[in-house]
Structures are given as C-alpha cells and as structure tokens.
Amino acid sequence: YVLQGYGLTETCAGTFVSLPNELQMLGTVGPPIPNVDVCLESVPEMGYDALAQTPRGEICVRGKTLFSGYYKREDLTNEVMIDGWFHTGDIGEWQPDGSLKIIDRK
C-alpha cells in the first residue's frame, strides 16, 4: 500500500495516517492516530474558522509523544506550546470522513 501521512519532528512520529483502500481519503493525510489529540484553531486574519460548517484552522496537537521543547530556546518553545497544545503553523481542513487535508501554512 501507498499511504499518506503527516507528522513533524516536534510530534516525534506521524500524527495522521491515511487508511489503505479508502479512496475517498486521497488528497488527505488521513485521520489522527490514537495516541494524540488534535484540534483546529481559528485563524481569523487568514479567513479560517475552526467552527465553520467545513472546519479550517491551524493544526494543534497534544499527547505523550510530543517534544518537551526546543533545546536552549524557551522563547521559541513558548511561541508554539500554548496550554499544552503544540501549534504546528500548518492549516488543515477536516473532511466529513474524519480525515484532514493540509491546505495552507500560517
């Protein structure tokens, strides 16, 4: 199988992985994996509303696999870690099937 996924160094692994033989997920990174919490945060200055009928916003992740911070860069860590959520800087759009499509960058 060829699968699509999404993850960052800061998440220490994949955060989303598409499912095999699910053609409706083409163009998405699939649903979140079980060990993470994911939410979208509205980015009004870019016109993205996480509470809209089609939710769009900055991808935020939390869970036990997250990094503990940037080495000797507490300032950068504080920019991206807010209330336990890692703000990725990527913009996602939830799909009706629970998968996520990456659509922009903050």
pLDDT of the residue at 75: 98
Question: Global pTM?
Answer: 0.93
Nearest to 56 by CA among 103, 90, 92, 16: 92
CA distance 92 to 49: 11
pLDDT tens column, 45-69: 999 999 999 999 999 999 998 999 9
Those residues whose C-beta lies under 8 Å from the C-beta of residue 27, and which sit 6 or more positions away, are 101
State phi, psi for 21 to the nearest 5 degrees.
Answer: 60, 25
pLDDT tens column, 65-101: 899 999 999 999 999 999 999 999 999 999 999 999 9
Domain CATH for 38: 2.30.38.10
pLDDT tens column, 20-45: 877 777 889 999 999 899 999 999 99
Tally the domains of the chain: 1
State phi, psi for 74 to the nearest 5 degrees.
Answer: -60, -35
Domain that holds residue 59: 5-105
